[in-house]
Structure 1
Amino acid sequence: MSHYDVAIIGAGPGGYVAAIRAAQLGLKTVVVEKEQVGGTCLNLGCIPTKTLIMNAEILQEIKHAEKRGLKVPKPEVDMQGTQKMKNRVINQLVSGVELLLKGNGIDLIRGEANVSSENTLKVSNQEIHFSQLIIATGSSNFIPPIPGLNEEGILTSTELLELDHVPEKLIIIGGGVIGCELATIFSSFGSKVTIIEMQSYLVPLMDTEVSATLMTSLKSSGVKILTNCKVVGVQRETSNFEVSVTGAKEVVLEADQVLVSVGRKANLKGLEALKLDLERNYIKVNDRMETSLKGVYAVGDITGKIQLAHVASRQGIVAAETIAGKQAMMSYRVVPSCIYTIPEIGSVGLTETQAKEMYKEIAVGKFPMRACGKALAMGATTGFVKIIAEKKSGRVIGCHIIGPNATEIIGQVAAVMEQEGTLMDITRTIHAHPTISETVLEAAHVALGEPIHVIKA
């Protein structure tokens, strides 16, 4: 029988980071993981999709190579080779996480955890005792109760990312982040892709101008988009599927593969004995990541807060530091979001609509990528930077970028916002030229009413 200061269920970006921080703080720590370390992000989500999106970007570059004076033979997609490459990346990162756990003196136990009390859990026949528990069991794909979605061959992102061939026709149910990223990948690979979305816009939580630009870009690459539409049934035929869709009118679409991408659900199995308070079927936590049961914490997707790997990691650090007696608090005020479409999207803080609702007066600066020298040189002029500030103080409260390197440069605005910085703080900072990041500087100038590289409206 083993006893630990901290037991952690789940070795995803919330669980393994919590384990490392707990071990650093001198706590004897064990992690229980029933599958691969790294969780959904590393094995089934963030890393696999980003690996494949790189292939999509290469294909896009080749497609437009002739405009740059380069003659390149038409490429072919080898999905088996692509999958081998993707799996090599995943395996290397999984090994890296395992090495980090071992190097920090953390015990890793393989198997499914069943918690019997707030101080005991079992993995197969092994009983583990602990003083504090961190639940980091994550989430899994949600399948809505639509007739036919239980048919064999209906895919979630997990199965789609394992395909050894490129579907001829792919229907994606759900136009959120995952749906749009996978549409980008498979349309670049040669699939005829259709996205069906219930809302008026794709990625509906994003700034509406960003969403509209993404829709235009996806359509120009051949993706068919049906918004304000609902799937009412799926019928399996001999070699394909028929998807019934209602909107302005009812239509039936055909595809050889159907992807369901409408959200996630909490993984609560094995936790029933704790009788924790739930909120929207997720574990309810406070800003110290404490649950309704003393000594039990929860981090990551299982909390239903913001389902992003970097949020889970920060929550894991807060939980570990709280257990160690430090004054740690989780804040969701500045959380960047990234979407790996072509072009990329980076977002942090309030959208323009939200800012108008919350503040008396706001300043908005928008700078187009077509006016950026580096973007023009790259041939990547679709998109813009929009920066939003509280008018009186100039404090930056939001930024939304669609364009090349958006997921990289959004971090500089997040850093400004974390320090409650202003538009003037950005304009006084010398930005390197020529870079994509200087579009943030230009947008700040526009918001202050003193544009440099665009004519004042």
Structure 2
Amino acid sequence: MKNIVIIGAGPAGRFAAMDAAEKSNNVTLIEKRHIGGKCLNQACMVVCALSDVAKHVEQSQNFNDLGIVESEIKVDYAKTAAQIKQTQKKIRHIITAETKGTGVEYVRGEASVDADRKVVIVDDEDEYPYDKLLVCTGSSPLLPDIPGIENAYTYKDTLKFEQIPEKLVIIGGGSTAAEYANIFSSFGSQVDILCRSSFLKMLGDNEAEEYIVSNLLKNTIVHENVEIKEITDRSVITNYGEIEGTVLLATGVTPNSEIVKDIVEIDDKGHIIVDSHMQTSNPDIYAAGDVIGGLLSTPVSRMEGMVAINNIIGNEVEADYSLIPLTITLNYDVSYMKGDKVNNNGKQVSLPGAGGPGSFWNILNGKMGMTKENIDFESGKINNVLAITPSSNIALPYMIKIMKDGNDDDFSNFLEIHPTTDGIFKLAQYYKRYS
């Protein structure tokens, strides 16, 4: 049995804590804010909740346009935010009970580390000795050095809006910018996205980016190669002029590594440096999740936490970053891959989205989405997949399993649920027709 202290009760820390406790270790999990971390309380779940409402608004408008349903949808944002907060509270209650039920000691308070004595001090009072320490302290919004930055909101503040902004200016060009543009444009805001370089460049696919802008983001103008001069309380001043609206930052995150900045090695961006076992330069301290950088997603953080805890308790494993599924949550999810084994060295084949749940009533307007695969026709291996469909966030992880363990021929006896809106499996099964 080991004394293990984990700082941070987000996906990385909480799952690691439960796993270690279930294996008869003495585990203390310390969190200074809310259990569930950024995902539940500020980011992923907030985006999912607001996106569900946005999808309903868009679907209702489409039904109106088709003459199927006569209704006028109006979103009460204050009530929406209040209901989200109530739901978060309920989830926190459930997962707190789940965590404690495995034998984890859950402690609320602000932690500091005394590495020489190998203790964690909470609120400058209580001390928790450790054999091994796991740091899962996550990240916070990155605030660029821009005059007037205090006038901007971040993802942490979106539930504080008293009403839907008439005009919204989003600074940033990644997934967070796209997701909030989708949400608030569906709610009726006029949205401007200001990108320092290009929009959604992490996709590496101009066709997909153009499809998203043209078909999924209504009432939205994307400005690229923008230099931000100043942010005021009602606008952003750029090298192209002044753009009015409530300002939302989507400029990335910065790691919360201050707690161990003088104890372990940290890179020039503040990320804790770890090896493939999640071990830091201090052999008794491990780290996982956003605080170490890399691909920032809940499943990746959870994987890193599990890798760390397995190595802490003596099971030597390494993190696998070969194929990572990622999704931009829009009215159609945009799912894509990153990782060491992802490439575009084969032949690119594509297929329009199919009619099915979530897309049937868009057949007549042609907004069906798309699926693209890069395939090596010699080996049958799939190199890369990108899908813009209602079911892509479900289908892509299955495809990754096939990519890791087999090839296209494994689909000869594969049975999916029908109807499905995704062309991933269809392309994989019948790719030779496109050669």
TM-score bucket of the superposed structures, by smaller chain: over 0.9
- Residue 52 (structure 1) aligns with: 50
SS of equivalent residue, structure 1 residue 283: coil
- On the 8 A contact 1:8/1:133 being kept in 2, the answer is yes
- Residues 336-351 of structure 1 correspond to what in structure 2 (within 5 A)? 336-349=325-338
Q: 1:4 to 1:321 in 2, by over 3 A?
A: closer
- Residue 114 (structure 2) aligns with: 116
Note if 1:289 corresponds to 2:278: yes
- Residue 86 (structure 1) aligns with: 84
What is the one-letter code of the residue matched to 1:229? V
TM-score by length of 1: 0.89
Note if 1:425 corresponds to 2:410: yes
- Residue 157 (structure 1) aligns with: 155
- Residue 259 (structure 1) aligns with: 248
SS of equivalent residue, structure 1 residue 14: helix
Q: Displacement of 1:284 after TM fit?
A: 0.6
Note if 1:367 corresponds to 2:351: yes
SS of equivalent residue, structure 2 residue 150: coil
Distance 2:403 2:175 in 1: 24
Q: Displacement of 1:49 after TM fit?
A: 1.1
- On the 8 A contact 1:387/1:443 being kept in 2, the answer is yes
Note if 1:317 corresponds to 2:306: yes
Which of 63, 66, 83 is the matching residue for 1:65? 63
Note if 1:414 corresponds to 2:413: no
SS of equivalent residue, structure 1 residue 50: helix
Which of 327, 330, 343 is the matching residue for 1:355? 343
- On the 8 A contact 1:229/1:245 being kept in 2, the answer is yes
What is the one-letter code of the residue matched to 1:355? N
- On the 8 A contact 1:351/1:398 being kept in 2, the answer is no
- On the 8 A contact 1:204/1:211 being kept in 2, the answer is no
Which of 168, 171, 174 is the matching residue for 1:173? 171
- On the 8 A contact 1:30/1:108 being kept in 2, the answer is yes
Runs of 4+ in 1 over 4 A off after TM superposition: 349-352, 371-376
Please tell me the root mean square deviation across aligned C-alpha atoms, in Å: 2.2
- Residue 390 (structure 1) aligns with: 376
- Residue 236 (structure 2) aligns with: 243
Distance 2:305 2:429 in 1: 38
What is the one-letter code of the residue matched to 2:431? A
Distance 1:417 1:431 in 2: 17
- Residue 142 (structure 2) aligns with: 142
Distance 2:268 2:94 in 1: 35
SS of equivalent residue, structure 2 residue 232: strand
- On the 8 A contact 2:277/2:308 being kept in 1, the answer is yes
Distance 2:137 2:93 in 1: 20
- Residue 126 (structure 1) aligns with: 126
SS of equivalent residue, structure 1 residue 146: coil
How many percent of aligned residue pairs carry the same amino acid? 27
What is the one-letter code of the residue matched to 2:425? L
Distance 1:92 1:445 in 2: 43
Distance 2:322 2:271 in 1: 21
- On the 8 A contact 1:343/1:402 being kept in 2, the answer is yes
- On the 8 A contact 1:56/1:185 being kept in 2, the answer is yes
Q: Displacement of 1:109 after TM fit?
A: 0.9
Distance 1:400 1:194 in 2: 25
Distance 1:97 1:165 in 2: 31
SS of equivalent residue, structure 2 residue 160: coil
Note if 1:41 corresponds to 2:29: no
Q: 1:65 to 1:177 in 2, by over 3 A?
A: same
Q: 1:204 to 1:330 in 2, by over 3 A?
A: closer
- On the 8 A contact 2:322/2:339 being kept in 1, the answer is no
What is the one-letter code of the residue matched to 1:102? K
Note if 1:222 corresponds to 2:219: yes
Aligned length: 430
